[in-house]
Amino acid sequence: MTTPLRAAFLLLLAFPVSAQSPWSSQEPYTFPFDHYDEWLAFMDESPDPAWQAEAMQAVIPREDWERYASGRTVTAKRIRYLSDGLEIRGYAFAPRESDGPLPVVLFGHGGTAEWGRITFVDILEMYRLAERGYIVLASALRGEGGSEGTPNLGSGDRQDILDLLALAKTLDGADPSRLGYWGFSRGAGLGYRVLAATDEIRAAVLIGGGSDAVNSARRAEFEEFVYPGVLEGWEDDPVEALRRISPMYWPEEISASTDILLLHGANDDRVPVSGSLTMAGHLARLGRTFRLVVAEGGSHALIEHLPEVRREMDRWFDERLKR
């Protein structure tokens, strides 16, 4: 593997072009690795043992990886769709066989701007969910992952998800009454904003999400490296712009129709667990249906708790989207 590929850890390859409705284009997705051992060698490049080959083998065994790669059980596509006139790239996964219309789960990825990406491990989890009977759709969001436009942390990225949701309801084999959302880190924060804009999502799983960008311990870092040119309204009124992406300031706007599962690592050094604790308090005060799970010793990605994360997420979605 080339040095640039190692440096862009888990970054997926470019999106090819094709044309077919309801997407502006779609094409079969193929793995960026030729075989399982090549992927494990790549994962061993990580400085974190939780992401290295030994740990990955325990949670994504060879037989699962090879079954996903073969396409025997899941149809996987790279897609493009339109949002505000921009062509947005993403992914669509569905089981090859089903007994009827399926629930749909939308995925919101972590990171912003040049750090915003859908990782290959995210992709493998989408295969897993599709095998369990879900259509899974993911957006790379504008200005990221090859999508048109410039990165927008505000109304732009939210609109990309809302337009993906609208498309999800038109898909053959999809049940538009059974919609879910799954978001990680930035995608979890985006999830709060999506849930404030629609009542159509029945269940959401938000992992490692923050709630207060105004008072974040990392605010200075983000002011230097992230927000300028990315956070909507930053140049006009930085504090108000931060409040608009901070759900603790507007919890009443979050849809009462959505049951919310909050997952967070107790030792998260990127987005402190206090973000989810704060939101749990607001949701409790408002009488909303939610569950908070804090993983003892858990990191931001919760990769070392992946089996537990899967159990919690599967149960949450199954109980709300498969009935």
Least confident of 19-23, 152-156, 265-269: 19-23
Helices (H), the chain: 3-7, 36-43, 53-59, 62-70, 120-131, 155-168, 186-195, 219-225, 238-244, 274-285, 306-321
What proportion of the chain, given as a percentage, has pLDDT over 90? 85
C-alpha torsion 271→277→282→288, nearest 10 = 110
Q: Of the candidates 49, 123, 138, which has an alpha carbon nearest to the alpha carbon of residue 89?
A: 138
- CB neighbour list of residue 147: distance below 8 Å, 6 or more residues apart: 86, 87, 88, 89, 139, 140, 141, 160
Distances (CA, A) of 139 to 17, 144, 183, 247: 16, 9, 11, 22
Secondary structure letter of residue 52 according to DSSP: S
* 113: confidence class by pLDDT, cuts 50, 70, 90: confident
Cβ(115)–Cβ(188) under 8 Å? no
Sequence ranges of the domains in the chain: 17-47+60-321
Q: Using CA atoms, how far apart are residues 98 and 102, in angstroms rounded to an integer?
A: 8
Residue 80, strand partner residues:
25, 89
Q: Return d(Cα 140, Cα 123) in angstroms, integer.
A: 12
Residue 12 has pLDDT above 70, yes or no: no
pLDDT > 90? residue 9: no
> What was the pLDDT predicted at 323?
80
- Both tokens of 156, joined, read 């732009």
- pLDDT (tens digit per residue) in 186-213: 999 999 999 999 999 999 999 999 999 9
Q: How confident is the model at residue 4 (pLDDT cuts 50, 70, 90)?
A: very low
Helices (H), 132-273: 155-168, 186-195, 219-225, 238-244
User: Per-residue pLDDT tens for 297-308?
Assistant: 999 999 999 999
Domain 17-47+60-321: CATH superfamily, name plus number: Alpha/Beta hydrolase fold, catalytic domain (3.40.50.1820)
| Distance from C-alpha of 252 to C-alpha of 283, rounded to nearest angstrom | 9
pLDDT (0 to 100) of residue 20: 45
Looking at residue 18, its pLDDT comes to: 35
| Res. 275: pLDDT tops 50 | yes
The pLDDT of 117-145, averaged and rounded, is 96
Please give the residue that has the higher pLDDT: either 129 or 19.
129
* 29-50 pLDDT per residue, tens: 999 999 999 999 999 999 999 9
pLDDT band with cut points at 50, 70 and 90 for residue 21: low
- Residue 10: the pLDDT is 30
Determine the number of helices (DSSP H) and then strands (DSSP E) in the chain: 11, 9
Check: CB of residue 274 under 8 Å from CB of residue 241.
Answer: no
- Is the separation of the CB atoms in 275 and 309 below 8 Å? no
Kindly state the average pLDDT of the residues 145-154. Answer: 94
Q: With 0-12 CB in 10 A as exposed, 13-18 as middle and 19+ as buried, what is 305?
A: buried
| Average pLDDT for the chain | 91
- Report how far residue 211's alpha carbon sits from residue 189's, in angstroms, rounded to the nearest whole number: 7
**AA letter at 113:** A
Q: Which residues contact 152 (CB under 8 A, 6 or more apart)?
A: 142, 143, 230, 232
Question: What's the pLDDT score for residue 302?
Answer: 96
